[in-house]
Structure 1
Amino acid sequence: MLPFALFAQQASQKELDIEAFVEERFAMQEEDIPYEDLYESLLQRYFQPLDLQVATSTELQSLYLLSPLQIQSFIKYRNQFGKFSSIYELQAIPEWTLETIQNILPFVVINSTHPNQSNPGLKRILKAENAYLLFRQRRIWQTRKGFTAPDTLSNGDLSNRYVGDPNDLYMRFRLQQPADFSLGLTLDKDSGEKFTWDPKSKRYGFNYLSFHYTLYNKGKLKALSLGDYQLQFGQGLVFGSGFSVGKGAETITTVKRSSTGLRPYTSVMEAGFFRGLAGTYSSGNIEWTVMLSRTSRDANLQYIQDSLANESSYLSSLVLSGLHRTISEIQKKAQAIEQNIGLNLNYRHPNKSFRLGSNLLYTQYSQPLIPLERIYNQFEFQGKNNVTNSLYFTYNYRNHYLFGESAISKSGGMGHVAGIMSSLNSKVDFSMIWRKYDRNFHSQYGNAFSEGTRPINEEGLYLGIHFKPSRKISWSAYYDYFKFPWMRFRMYAPSTGHEWLSRIKFQPNKQLMLFFQFREEVKSRNVVSEDQTSSQYLLAQGKRQNIVWNLTYQPSRWWQAKTRVQQSFYRISGHKSKGYAISQDLSGEVGAWKLSGRVSLFDTDDYENRQYLYEKNVLWAFSIPNFYDQGIRLYFLAQYKLNRRLTFWGRWAKTTYTNRESIGSGLQEIQGNELVETTFQLRYQFNR
């Protein structure tokens, strides 16, 4: 009979387990995947969680965590019972397991409104939920050749050397309120770059600076961004910036690109983003996104002199490394200006099951881009400007998602993507995607599903399946056939290839998880010169096989052990080689400390069998190094929370080679067989 006052609060957002997320979605690590950009895009999803009270099926699919059946079950449940009372109600949704809920929790909330949103603008910014300053320093302690005294060349000139010190420096300032606004500043200086103020070479202290201010959900204005931003619409043929996985151990949910729209850019990669102004306006079932961008690009600038003694110039290539350590690298900095004007129109049917959209992007460079002539690149983009436009659709019918996009560039080259994701029943999911990209299809910001790094000169068909006969066992597999109708780098003739993967996962309880994975890739490449006979343009089929055994044991939430064994085999032109790596991880929590470490051994015959090993790093730093030859790798990571606002990270890593007397080449060469790296990071959170 006595009255009591009860105060309810929403469960706090679950911490993101980036290692588990990567392990599922990247079946095998490769060096041509832009991991830094992918990681930053993943963090954007983490800091802008979906509100499950209003999330659409398309937005749920963009998380790459839910099957079509699970999404359909979610929408049906919400339509039937109304808004969720708490995050714990997710357990009542049919087809949603505890594993599903655990995976999705870092990226979703119930009711995204926040008390601070009623405050005036400046006060709301100062009370932002995610407000922090982060500083990171990283260094390789052995001396690379680039930091030694220069040599005197035969002509009396001094050889190239790095102009800066060996420290990597990184700083990030962020004020962010989910579904309201985001304000950020990112600064970066790579090892070998000079910390200097030189407007002539566009170096302002740090070598790289990125800024953004983005507003969300201001009436009919869905988003407005000033500064650096990315756009992702359709299947990535025109606007493909942001998080997209492609082929991985998750064989169903990752094949479809999602129209995540306009988002701020926060990565330290110095290419692949827009700089300027963009906005998304919503009116009923139609959304408009308009963008304007003007940014400098690193490039190799070539001068030509005409008959009237007037100099003109052209760009022989765009430089994407973002490194400015030597005089020659600094001379390539900001040599071109790139301007972009773009438009997206998106229509959503009132029942939200059908979407139709159109993209348009006009790109212009300050000088013509004329690549150095090679046989394989004669159909690549040349000129000063390009136009790419496309039409795309998505259609959701019960447990089936159909999607596609067709695009055409100024050259007349076309690109097409079409596919389906389907839940055949509660135990079997299926996916299929077909693509065809002409050899003269040009898309400066395209990132569609493909075997290559860009959607050009490729045709292919992908089939994926996921079978879960019981709660403890699951099997996933895919097969991808592809062909390249024209020549490619290291491939001086049209060619075909295929790739397939199979993974069996067994998880008898929450504490134990193990999987076995096999992957095979067959792809052509030029026969090396010593193996040539008469023709200098012979191709050989190279076959790469990778095997992974993984065991993870977590008896409590305080500590975890993980054992991994991986092998590789490579065969081409009668030559066979192999390699392997074994790693043992331990991690745990003790009071205010979080500790983790690894010891790994590797032994490979050659570079073709290099072993990629994902490593834990300090918060918001990504590390997937590769190792070849013979050696041992150790690392230790510690995190200590000094108080509720201040957190410190320290990381030490050492690689020792047993069959080398030097490491690296060129200016990166280190004399000796050891490489030691340290990373220190400090984060201060303001509103805690």
Structure 2
Amino acid sequence: MRKEWIILLVLLIQLDSLQAQTYKKGEIDMENFIEDLFGMQREEEDYEELYEGLLQVLLNPINLNKVGTEELKSLYVLTPSQIHQFLLYRKNFGNLLSLYELQAIPEFDLETIYKILPFVVIDERTVQRGSLWSRMSETKDAYFIFRHRRVWETRRGFTLPDTLINGNLTSRYQGDPNSLYGRFRIQQGKDFSLGLTFDKDPGEEFIWDPPSNRYGFNFLSYHFTLFNRGNWKAISIGDYQLQFGQGLVFGAGFAPGKGAETITTVRRSSLGIRPYTAALEFGYFRGVAASKQLGPVQITLMASNAPKDANVQLAMDSLEQDQAIITSLQRSGLHRTPTEISYKNQAREKNLGANIQFTSLNKRLQIGGNSLYTEFSQPFIRTPRVYNQFEFYGQSNQIHSLYFSYNFQNYYFFGESAISSSGGMGTILGMMSSLHPTLAFSLLYRNYQRNFHSFYGNAFGEGSRPINEKGIYMGLNFRPNQKYNWSFYYDRFEFPWLRFRAYAPSWGKEWFSRFTYTPSRKTLIFFQLRQESKARNLSEYPGYQSPYIMDQGIKTNFAFNLDQKLDNTWSIKSRVNSSTFQFGGNLSKGFAISQDLNADFNQWRFSSRIVLFDTDDFDNRQFIYERNVLWLFSIPALHGQGMRYYFLTQYRLSPKLTFWARFARTIFTDREVIGSGLQQISGNAVTETTFQLRYQFNR
């Protein structure tokens, strides 16, 4: 009875606040969420892959009455103290009866609740009723999406070929400029997931040609996964990913790294087997995987045999016989020209892996181990370069790791250490803490040796891969009340060996600060500053000939942002970005100013933006997240001088059918040719359209 009175009191007190909610349950202000996680966009990040990981979290909301510490951490929304308070509340008062009950939990303010709502549900169903076929045919979460995209200006790759002096024709794209994408999925959270994804990129030919490994669409991904079948936590067939430990061995899933959220993003969560549904043609396993729970121990086994795009050449071995070798793996996923087509599925990669994980009864302690054996169909022999001599060479690789996490009240300690068959090691040690209800702190140390080889790692770091890096990161977040928030991080890193464009050991540092003011649910203001210092070769600039002389490139970014909800229909967003880049005694600058106008008429939604930008060089390119059709990610890099604008509309024709249309155009004032090579456009404008349909079954 005590609990019911608490809920009633909370509902009465917060009634006005609930009416001010600015979006519906199950939706997310993606723009602000991306701003929180990424802060200043970085060219090294693969945002499409990150967004696919976020999409999987959105499409599989967690049940608050069943959720554990790991899943709560994986949302990157709650602080250690908030997670502790949530678990303590559920222990003392039992399962939640309503999502509104979150307001009764200490430290759960309305801003936190609004952020977490799209990711969570309250579902008391513990038994799957009916046959699997009947549940699949009746689930509300079943849909089909089809998308068309196109750049309307003619790129050079789509023109007639030229004749060279030797009589040969120059290379051109084999297909049309249309991009086609489709996704079919039937799923029910923690029960089953069945999916099919197909994709054709611009310039790729839609053709059935087995000799070149092309079968209609350029890429096809599929999976069927069952969850919670007795002691079997998950069984997956087809394409999947694994996420265990801190990402040194199995690093799938959503892992944003450094951003405006300076506390929760330093740690990875062990979420296990995850169905793969992206159109990215790398970074996944194809085969079978299964996890079984045996008391406090969970065991996962996996096997994969997947094709890989590779440049395979013949080389003379020690017996003077021709031997096929892999000189490089292609990650672009593009098959437009005869050369790119010749790379398609030329190699195969076999993987055998295992994970064993122990979780204490009170969920505070987790200990686990990972193992992964990888074998290529041909030896991998890279073209020798001074900076890559410690990269992976050979036909097989093994990597093994041990990891742990321990929760003591408001403190989380975590770490993982791994060793690859080369003898190279990678190590992460970190902690997160709520020092006070208004102050959170994070600290992380990493050391990835120059000969540490992990093909599926996605650990925290400055580089895009966990290799040849060590550093220490510190984050702070101070929130004295709901209106004010200050976040800060400092990261110092070293590269013990040479890197691309840095032909000597080097170091760098980065710091970031954001101040946010939210006077009401209708207004959000923030300004932020980021500075990064990183060494690279001076030889790229005139007057410097030695490739081993370097200088610290210092890039400073500034952003000011205002979000204003005018009424229940209209909202605006204003933003100013600027940057400077100092390198080799030169200073260059850049800026971008954007204005948004958005409207929500229930069945109709409308978004628009205009951006003016002016940058001295590519180093000052400006990144601004753009709204796009559902589940499509866009952060264009604007450089040079010009203007960009887009219009996006969404119309819900019926409960089953929704339509999106987007028009985007960039006009440059400082050039008459855009791009280079086969991507070159003669003219000063690029125009792109996107059309998408979604049909939802059983609605």
**TM-score band, normalised by the shorter chain?**
over 0.9
**Could you say which residue in structure 2 is the equivalent of 1:294?**
305
Deviation at 1:17? 2.3
Shift of 1:590: 2.0
Contact preservation (8 Å) 1:343, 1:359 = yes
Q: Which amino acid aligns with 2:47?
A: Y
Change in 2 beyond 3 A, CA 1:235/1:315: same
String of CA shifts for 1:405-462, please: whole Å, max 9, x gaps.
0000000000000000000010100000000011000001111111001001111000
- Provide the rounded CA distance (Å) in 1 between the counterparts of 2:541 and 2:606: 50
CA contact (8 A) 1:541 1:572 kept: yes
- Within the alignment, does 1:89 sit opposite 2:105 as a pair? no
- Per the TM alignment, residue 124 of structure 1 is displaced from its structure 2 partner at its CA by 1.3
Give the 5 Å matches for 1:494-533: 494-532=505-543
Query: Residues 407-556 of structure 1 correspond to what in structure 2 (within 5 A)?
Result: 407-532=418-543, 535-556=546-567
Distance 1:534 1:266 in 2: 47
**Structure 1 residue 686 corresponds to structure 2 residue 686:** no
Report if aligned partners of 2:503, 2:547 keep a CA contact under 8 Å in 1: no
The residue matched to 1:79 in structure 2 has which SS?
helix
Q: Which residue of 1 aligns with 2:50?
A: 38
Mapping of residues 57-96 of structure 1, within 5 Å: 57-96=69-108
Cα drift, residue 20 of structure 1 = 1.6
Aligned 1:254-403 pairs, distance under 5 A: 254-305=265-316, 310-403=321-414
1:305 and 1:535 map into 2 onto residues whose CA distance is: 33
Q: Counterpart of 2:221 in structure 1: which amino acid?
A: S
CA distance in 1, matches of 2:317, 2:114: 66
Q: 1:375 to 1:553 in 2, by over 3 A?
A: same
Matched with 1:224 is 235
Q: Structure 1 residues 221, 607: CA separation in 2 closer, same or farther (over 3 Å shift)? A: same
2-side partners of 1:309 and 1:227: how far apart? 40
For the residues of structure 2 that align with 1:141 and 1:19, how far apart are their CA atoms? 27
Query: Which residues in structure 2 correspond to 1:111-130 (within 5 Å)?
Result: 111=123, 113=125, 117-130=128-141
CA displacement, residues 486-522 of structure 1 (integer Å, 9 cap, x when unaligned): 1000000001110000000000111111001000000
How far the C-alpha of 1:530 sits from its partner, in A, is 4.7
Distance 1:667 1:529 in 2: 24
Residue type at the aligned position of 2:398:
V
Change (3 A) 1:408 1:558: same
| Mapped partners of 1:351, 1:578: distance in 2 | 54
CA deviations over 1:220-277 (Å, ceiling 9, x no partner): 0001110000101000000012210110000000010111111000111100000000
Q: Within 2, Cα distance between the matches of 1:198 and 1:535?
A: 48
Structure 1 stretch displaced more, 185-194 or 553-562: 553-562
- Residue 249 of structure 2: aligned partner: 238
In 2, Cα distance between equivalents of 1:531 and 1:19: 41
Alpha-carbon distance in structure 1 between the residues aligned to 2:39 and 2:186: 34
Q: Does 1:16 align with 2:5?
A: no
Secondary structure of residue in 1 paired with 2:265? coil
* Structure 2 segments unaligned to the other structure (5+ residues): 1-22
1:187 matched to which residue of 2?
Answer: 198
- In structure 2, the CA distance between the partners of 1:312 and 1:644, relative to structure 1 (3 Å rule), is same
Deviation at 1:556, TM superposition (A): 2.9
Q: Distance in 2 between matches of 1:591 and 1:256?
A: 38
Give the drift of 1:528: 2.5
Using the alignment, how far apart are the partners of 1:92 and 1:25 within structure 2?
26
CA contact (8 A) 2:536 2:550 kept: yes
Return the offset for 1:118. 0.8
Are the equivalent residues in 2 in contact too, given 1:462–1:480 (CA < 8 A)? yes
Distance 1:20 1:534 in 2: 45
Partner AA of 1:196 in structure 2 = I
Query: Displacement of 1:14 after TM fit?
Result: 1.8
Equivalent of residue 600 in structure 2, options 573, 589, 594: 589
Counterpart CA distance in 2 for 1:152 and 1:187 is 35
Question: Could you tell me how far apart the structure 2 residues matched to 1:20 and 1:12 are?
Answer: 15
* CA distance 1:85–1:238, change in 2 (3 Å): same
* Contact 2:538/2:544 (<8 A) preserved: no
CA contact (8 A) 2:592 2:611 kept: yes
Amino acid at match of 1:252: I
Cα distance in 1 for residues equivalent to 2:27 and 2:170: 49
Shift of 1:119: 1.6
What is the rounded CA distance, in whole Å, between the counterparts of 1:32 and 1:555 in structure 2? 36
Distance 2:360 2:209 in 1: 53
Confirm whether residue 170 of structure 1 aligns to residue 214 of structure 2: no
Q: TM-score, normalised by structure 1?
A: 0.97
* Partner Cα separation in structure 2 for residue 523 and residue 203 of structure 1: 42
**Local SS of the residue matching 2:520:** coil
> 2:406 and 2:243 mapped to 1: Cα distance?
18
CA distance in 1, matches of 2:271, 2:84: 19
Output the CA distance in 1 between the equivalents of 2:374 and 2:170: 38
Verify the 8 A CA contact 1:423 1:430 in the aligned structure 2. yes
What is the identity, as a one-letter code, of the residue corresponding to 2:252?
S
Question: Do the aligned partners of 1:599 and 1:633 also contact (CA within 8 Å) in 2?
Answer: yes
SS in 1 for 2:235: strand
Q: Aligned AA for 1:60? A: L
The whole-number CA distance in structure 1 between the counterparts of 2:476 and 2:645 is 37
In structure 1, distance between residues paired with 2:403 and 2:322: 44
Following superposition, the deviation at residue 306 of structure 1 comes to 5.5
* Residue 26 (structure 1) aligns with: 38
Alpha carbons 2:539, 2:546 under 8 Å: kept: no
**Is the contact between residue 85 and residue 106 of structure 2 (CA under 8 Å) also seen in structure 1?**
yes
Over residues 78-107 of structure 1, what are the superposed CA-to-partner deviations in whole Å (9 max), with x where a residue is unaligned?
Answer: 000011111111110001001111100111
Check conservation: 2:388, 2:499, Cα contact below 8 A: yes
Q: Is the 8 A contact 2:433 2:440 kept in 1?
A: yes
- Give the whole-Å Cα distance in 1 for the aligned partners of 2:270 and 2:211: 39
- Aligned partner of 1:84: which letter? L
C-alpha deviations, 1:585-609, integer Å up to 9, x for none? Answer: 1111124110000000000000000
What is the match of residue 679 of structure 2? 668
Indicate yes or no: 2:72 matched with 1:52.
no
Tell whether the 8 Å contact from 1:336 to 1:366 is kept in structure 2 after alignment. yes
Give secondary structure in 2 for the equivalent of 1:507: strand
Partner of 2:163: 152
CA contact (8 A) 1:297 1:337 kept: yes
Whether the 8 Å contact between 1:532 and 1:538 is mirrored in structure 2 is no
Q: Distance in 2 between matches of 1:571 and 1:177?
A: 52
The answer on whether the counterparts of 2:111 and 2:482 sit within 8 Å (CA) in structure 1 is no
Amino acid at match of 1:226: I
Rounded to whole Å, the distance in 2 between the matches of 1:524 and 1:130 is 49
Q: Residue in 1 aligned with 2:114?
A: 102
Cα contact 1:112–1:179 (8 A) shared by 2: no
- TM-superposed deviation, 1:328: 0.3
Q: What is the distance in 2 between the residues matched to 1:306 and 1:406?
A: 36
Paired residue for 2:8?
none
Corresponding residue of 2:585: 574
Question: In 2, Cα distance between the equivalents of 1:534 and 1:166?
Answer: 41
